[in-house]
Structure formats: structure tokens, C-alpha cells
């Protein structure tokens, strides 16, 4: 068992977490939070790159993020959640790391692994707190937040990543095997499209604009978020260098 951590972020494949919430994780790590990423698979069946190359890429990304560590669950790429044993694997990771907060991919997405991973993590977070389920000392995270990879979501909250946008791009671009790097792409995928990172930036600008930030990462939470008091208006005001707040209501 390792020391309890603050945030455990599950990634179906290496690069999913960095894309969906890399800016938020970098800010949290910079502010002193202990963060661990658990890659459910190694992306070994991806259309581009090799397992060895992808391991090197995620090592570089982990260093840039300032992680406390990174785990590999060893689940099969394109088969995440297909067997009951996968649930016990994720439960064991939660019980060993004992996080306060878990981050998981949003449950609606174009990639079946992302959707299956979301369901698997949601179940594991619940059953990890049931003593009769599996081995080890029970532990249930305080919260589970879902980050967006491809399909849009209606955010419960948006994290301001304006100050670290360039750092997020640097982190994403460590995964050169997965994104467009120029030349004749003979094995194209959705994320190797030369326009993909422009689409991603546009999305971050959109969610930022909803809340008065230049760039934002959106998260979903099942049910209302708890608060001990009304948020102070002063704390919600954009800074002097931020664009005017644009509300959708």
C-alpha cells in the first residue's frame, strides 16, 4: 500500500487524461496535491505508434505534469470492462491508493473503451467501499468527477486553465505518435487529423467563455455539488486580464 493520494485520475489509454483534464491536473500538482494517473490500458492496439514509444511519451508527460506516480492496470486495449476481473483490478487500485478524489472519462463518448471505462470506474468507486467485495481495506472516494474526451457534456463546473494553456499544449504534444506532426499521414485517425488540436482549443475557449475564462476544462458530477455557504461573488469575478463573462442563461 502506498501513502493516500489526493487525486486518482483514470485514463483508458495513455493521453486521454492529459487531453481531458491535463491543465487542471497540472494546476493541482503545482499547488501541492499528490496526483496519480492509472492507465487502464497501454494503448497497445492503437493505430499509430508502438507500445514502447507510447511508454516513452507518457513518461515525458508525467514528468511535465508533476505527478506523484503513474500506474498501469494492464487491462486490454479495445476490451476495457469486458470481464468481471477488471472491476476487481480497479477496486484494488482505489483501495491501495485511497484517493480523496477520482477523475474518470465521461460516460458518453465515440470510443467504446472510454464509455466502458467510465462505467467500470463508477462501479469500482462504489464497491471499493463495500467490505465484502474483494480484498483489502475498504475505501470509497469522497467524489468522482468526469472529464470530457470527445463527446460534449453539460458541465457541472469549469476549471480555469488560462494561465497554463501553453503548458497543457506542451504536455499533449509529448504524444507525438498520436497527433499530427506533418508530412503524409498514411494511417490517419480522428486525433491525428491536422485540425484536431484546433478543435480541442476551440472547445476549451467555448467552456472558458461560459464562465469568464480564456480557457476552461469542463467536468461533470452526478448530482448537486455540496457547499457549506453561497459562493462569494468576488471569488467568481474574472480577473482584469480575463475576457468579459459570457453566460448562456
Residue pLDDT, tens place only, 76-98: 999 999 999 999 999 999 999 99
Please give the grid coordinates belonging to residue 51: 507500445
Look at 1 and 186; give whichever has higher pLDDT.
Answer: 186
Please give the grid coordinates belonging to residue 219: 467536468
pTM for this model (two decimals)? 0.89
Percent over 90 (pLDDT), the chain: 73
Please give the grid coordinates belonging to residue 35: 496526483
What is the model's pLDDT at position 178?
82
- Residue 162 placed within a domain: yes
What is the model's pLDDT at position 235?
53
- Residue 117 placed within a domain: yes
What is the model's pLDDT at position 11?
98
What is the model's pLDDT at position 184?
58
pLDDT at 234 over 90: no
- Residue 76 placed within a domain: yes
What's the DSSP call for residue 11? Answer: E
What is the model's pLDDT at position 21?
98
Strand ordering across the sheet containing 143-147: 69-72, 35-39, 7-11, 101-105, 143-147, 216-220, 157-160
Confidence of residue 249 (pLDDT cuts 50, 70, 90): very low
- Residue 1 placed within a domain: no
Q: Are 137 and 92 in contact (CB under 8 A)?
A: no
What is the model's pLDDT at position 159?
97
Q: 63: domain range?
A: 7-225+232-236
- Residue 92 placed within a domain: yes
Least confident of 75-79, 179-183, 185-189: 179-183
- Residue 62 placed within a domain: yes
- Residue 242 placed within a domain: no
What is the model's pLDDT at position 95?
97
Report the mean per-residue pLDDT for the chain.
89
User: Which CATH number goes with the domain that contains 185?
Assistant: 3.40.50.10320
pLDDT at 223 over 60: yes
Beta-bridge mates of residue 71: 38
C-alpha pair distances (Å), 191 with each of 6, 26, 120, 171, 178 = 30, 22, 24, 15, 7
pLDDT at 1 over 80: no
What is the model's pLDDT at position 237?
52
Please give the grid coordinates belonging to residue 112: 467504446
List the end-to-end C-alpha distance of the chain, in Å, as a whole number.
47
What is the model's pLDDT at position 248?
41
H runs (alpha helix) in the chain: 16-30, 51-65, 84-97, 112-127, 165-172, 196-211, 233-236
Look at 104 and 191; give whichever has higher pLDDT.
Answer: 104
User: Considering its fold, how many domains does the chain have in total?
Assistant: 1
pLDDT at 133 over 70: yes
> Grid coordinates 487524461 are at which residue?
17
**Beta strands at 101-105 and 7-11: parallel, antiparallel or unpaired:** parallel
- Residue 126 placed within a domain: yes
Question: 3-class DSSP state for residue 81?
Answer: coil
The mean pLDDT value for 203-221 works out to 96
Beta-bridge mates of residue 105: 147
| Burial of 23 per CB tally in 10 Å (0-12, 13-18, 19+) | buried
Q: Are 141 and 127 in contact (CB under 8 A)?
A: no
What CA–CA distance (Å, rounded) separates 150 from 22?
14
Percent over 70 (pLDDT), the chain: 88
What CA–CA distance (Å, rounded) separates 243 from 216?
12
Amino acid at each position: 500500500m502506498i501513502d493516500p493520494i489526493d487525486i486518482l485520475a483514470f485514463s483508458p489509454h495513455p493521453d486521454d487524461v492529459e487531453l481531458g483534464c491535463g491543465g487542471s491536473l497540472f494546476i493541482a500538482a503545482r499547488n501541492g496535491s499528490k496526483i496519480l494517473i492509472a492507465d487502464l490500458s497501454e494503448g497497445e492496439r492503437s493505430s499509430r505508434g508502438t507500445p514502447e514509444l507510447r511508454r516513452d511519451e507518457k513518461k515525458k508527460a508525467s514528468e511535465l505534469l508533476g505527478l506523484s506516480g503513474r500506474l498501469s492496470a494492464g487491462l486490454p486495449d479495445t476490451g476495457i470492462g469486458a470481464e468481471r476481473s477488471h472491476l476487481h483490478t480497479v477496486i484494488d487500485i482505489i483501495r491501495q491508493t485511497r484517493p480523496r478524489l477520482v477523475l474518470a472519462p465521461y460516460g458518453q463518448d465515440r470510443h467504446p473503451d472510454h464509455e466502458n471505462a467510465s462505467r467500470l470506474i463508477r462501479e469500482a468507486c462504489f464497491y471499493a467501499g463495500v467490505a465484502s467485495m474483494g480484498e483489502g481495506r475498504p475505501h470509497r472516494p469522497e467524489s468522482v468527477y468526469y472529464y470530457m474526451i470527445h463527446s460534449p457534456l453539460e458541465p457541472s463546473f469549469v476549471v480555469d486553465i488560462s494561465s497554463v494553456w501553453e503548458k497543457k499544449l506542451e504536455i499533449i504534444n509529448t504524444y507525438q505518435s498520436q497527433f499530427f506532426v506533418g508530412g503524409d499521414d498514411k494511417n490517419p485517425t480522428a486525433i491525428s487529423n491536422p485540425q484536431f488540436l484546433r478543435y480541442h482549443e476551440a472547445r476549451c475557449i467555448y467552456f472558458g467563455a461560459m464562465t469568464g475564462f480564456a480557457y476552461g476544462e469542463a467536468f461533470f458530477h452526478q448530482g448537486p455539488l455540496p457547499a457549506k455557504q453561497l459562493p462569494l461573488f468576488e471569488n467568481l469575478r474574472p480577473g482584469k486580464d480575463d475576457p468579459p463573462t459570457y453566460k448562456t442563461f
